[in-house]
Structure 1
Amino acid sequence: MRCEWCEQHEAERIRCTVYWELPDGTRAIEITDTPGFECENCGMEYQSEEVIQEIEDQLLLINTTKLEKSINYEELMKQPRLLKYNYFRF
């Protein structure tokens, strides 16, 4: 797969740990086992725009005060939403 950073065809799908600031800015959390890519050429680890948007939307739509310091990606996505949709995304 083509790397979004160096544009070489060396990127492979991985699961990794990322750190995300909550929408209210009060703290950051660790999200483990997050889908992503790693490039063997440049060494960059990154998430697709789709995964980034999923995380951002989920964190905006759930009660983040109930989150621990660390959560698995799948567990995060299963958290009950306070709203059905992110009405602020254009």
Structure 2
Amino acid sequence: MPVCEWCGSKNARDSSNTVFWELPDGTKTIGVTETPCICCDDCGMEYQTEETVKKIEDQLFLINTKQLEKQLTYAELMAKPRLLKRNYFDFSS
């Protein structure tokens, strides 16, 4: 069971929610439903882990966003064909 990164509670759980993301080129935002998240029953926070955020950001750099729907599920976003094998703009690793 995850521990809440906001309040430290052990009453956090894996869940999913809808997030809104600005495309890397700033042209529009999209809604991503059924996105993995952590929900805390004590403080009420719902948030994505750093790993999930990185997966979304990398995917948005690697796909053709011109034809991207205004709303799609997390699984649909991750299944979009990539133009590049990896995010060559990520220098963090």
Shorter-chain TM-score range = over 0.9
Which aligned runs of 4 or more in structure 1 are off by greater than 6 angstroms? Answer: none
How many residue pairs end up in the alignment?
90
RMSD value, Cα: 0.7
> Which residue in the other structure is 2:86 paired with?
85
Flag structure 1 segments of 5+ consecutive residues without an equivalent.
none
1:7-54 Cα offsets, whole Å, 9 max, x none, are 111111101111001000111100000111110111000011111000
Flag structure 2 segments of 5+ consecutive residues without an equivalent.
none
Percent of pairs with identical residues: 58
> What secondary structure sits across from 1:5 in the alignment?
coil
> What secondary structure sits across from 1:41 in the alignment?
coil
- Give distance in 2, aligned partners of 1:44 and 1:26: 29
- Give distance in 1, aligned partners of 2:9 and 2:77: 32
> What secondary structure sits across from 2:56 in the alignment?
helix
One-letter amino acid of the structure 2 residue matched with residue 3 of structure 1: C
> Which residue in the other structure is 1:6 paired with?
7
Corresponding position: 1:56 with 2:39 = no
- Give distance in 1, aligned partners of 2:6 and 2:28: 28
